[in-house]
Amino acid sequence: MTIKVYNTLTNSKEAFEPQKESFVSMYVCGVTPYDHVHLGHARAYVVFDIIKRHLLQRGYKVKHVQNFTDVDDKIIKRALEKNIQPSQLSQVYIDDYFTQMEKLNVLKAQEYPRVTGLITEIISFIEELVSKGFAYNVDGDVYFSVEKFQDYGKLSKRKLDSLKAGARVGICDEKTSVFDFALWKKTKENEPKEVSWDSPWGKGRPGWHIECSVMASHFLENSIDIHGGGQDLIFPHHENEIAQSEAKTGKQFVKYWVHNGFVTINNEKMSKSLNNFFTLKEIFKEYNPRVVRYYLLTQHYSSPLDLSDVGLDGAKNALQGLDDAYLRLISVVKEASLEIKDKDLSDLREGFLSALDDNFNSEKALSYLHELKSIILNELFTACKERLSYLRKLFEDLTEKSLGITLYRGERLDNDLESLLKERNQARKTKNWAESDRIRDIINSKGYKIVDNKDGTSVVVKRI
């Protein structure tokens, strides 16, 4: 078993070899909590959830850290508009993040550091960069000197000389170079006191890029295995993280850089100005979170993903098919086997896992899941109980453990539905097809569908 990962740093697919055997350190850039989480966030965190789940399935221990950038210009601006403290605003949207991610069945990270909890560590980090000559103070603002870091641009493949050639000439009285970025920002007039801290350079707050470098190194040491986020973070955020981290430690900051593709809405960039900006809260009013998660897995994580009603409806139908097959299966076999003995099922399992081994190809993995669904439907009333119990265990492992798609296990029907189902079964026994269809339509109108088995029995499945 060899896992291969596409590394943005080298622009190539590489064999995955963590720095410590059987242990993986993973840092994922978190949200800036000034608004509700949206579809772009959902894609990123479902992608890294799949990566984490697969590493766990392959026997690795994973320490996963994901931050909250709770000090930021956008937070301060929104808090002033609402006449509340930035910490109050941040907490509202941090709570929203956890609510929506739980609906998407995203596993929690081991650590969720906040910038406000590591100010002392951030100041110390900046002090060391200043002492080593990589940063300088200008009247309370501290900047990183990009030209002092020789490898700048190695992640984004944007060399400093080409950036200079393409840059507009602008006024740069404070910074040594227009490309230098802020590590520490002095407090501005009218900014809330709670986002201003004492430092060797006067009162101020951290810049954006330094925050992730400090949080990653504080919880995962100076060199980490996987660092990820959306493609939009490659430059300048991740590029700047590399520069300041490696300038400080002299060590490679990240071994594998992993970035997920963009999300568009009906082939247009998601934007509030285009009136196609959808929060997860809004999307979940129309589509079950299970459907959204399934849809996010239908494209390889590195490819662009276009969200449309047609695509979501297709995902809903595909997931309904999985629900139907599973509910039929568990109505026949009540327990799942602890191991897979059948060679064809073992081969299918390995094919599924191999798809995820190959740069976490969830799109291909789903094809194996639907192959398994077909096997279940074909063998439901012919296979022995032992094999069916193997099928159930495999179906649960691939769907829930690896892909994080929660299976529908049915629910207790109310007395009216129970009576209707009994009446329909009796109508089918007497071949009263008109009555059978009439009752089916009533059940459908209540938000359920009936799945008829070959042996004459029926199960009721909740529509998603």
| Domain closes at, from 381, 402, 423 | 402
- For residue 169, what pLDDT is reported? 43
Q: Does any domain span residue 271?
A: no
**What kind and span of H or E run contains 75?**
helix 73-82
Q: CA angle at residue 128 from 181 to 67, to 5 degrees? A: 60
**Average pLDDT of each block of 10 consecutive residues along the chain (464 residues)?**
96 97 97 95 97 98 98 95 97 98 98 98 98 97 96 92 55 77 94 96 97 98 96 97 98 98 83 75 96 97 93 96 94 82 89 98 98 96 90 96 92 80 88 90 88 79 83
303 lies in the same domain as 255: no
Kindly report the pTM of this predicted structure: 0.92
- Other CB atoms within 10 A of residue 81 CB: 9
Any idea of the CA torsion for 182, 185, 190, 191, to the nearest 10 degrees? 90
129 lies in the same domain as 233: yes
| Domain closes at, from 205, 230, 260 | 260
10 lies in the same domain as 71: yes
Which residues span the domain enclosing 428? 415-462
- Structure tokens given for 52: 């984490």
398 lies in the same domain as 420: no
- For residue 166, what pLDDT is reported? 47
Peptide bond into 113 cis (omega under 30): no
- Answer for the pair 377, 325: CB distance below 8 angstroms, yes or no: yes
Q: Does any domain span residue 267?
A: no
237 lies in the same domain as 374: no
456 lies in the same domain as 389: no
- Answer for the pair 181, 135: CB distance below 8 angstroms, yes or no: no
116 lies in the same domain as 201: yes
Q: What's the distance, CA 27 to chain centroid?
A: 12
Q: Does any domain span residue 268?
A: no
Q: Does any domain span residue 269?
A: no
Query: Could you give the number of structural domains in the chain?
Result: 3
395 lies in the same domain as 429: no
Q: Does any domain span residue 293?
A: yes
Tell how strand 224-230 and strand 23-28 pair up.
parallel
- For residue 171, what pLDDT is reported? 47
156 lies in the same domain as 212: yes
Calpha distance 290→425 (Å, rounded): 30
Query: Which CATH number does the domain housing residue 379 bear?
Result: 1.10.730.10
Contacts 24+ apart (CB under 8 A), 85-91: 85/192, 85/194, 86/192, 86/194, 86/195, 87/116, 87/194, 89/33, 89/34, 90/33, 90/34, 90/114, 91/33
Q: Does any domain span residue 270?
A: no
41 lies in the same domain as 146: yes
Q: CA angle at residue 313 from 308 to 319, to 5 degrees? A: 130
Query: Which sign, positive or negative, has the C-alpha torsion 81, 87, 92, 96?
Result: positive
363 lies in the same domain as 333: yes
- Answer for the pair 260, 230: CB distance below 8 angstroms, yes or no: yes
DSSP bridge pairs for 141: 138
Helix axis angle, 39-57 to 86-103, nearest 10°:
60
- Answer for the pair 115, 211: CB distance below 8 angstroms, yes or no: yes
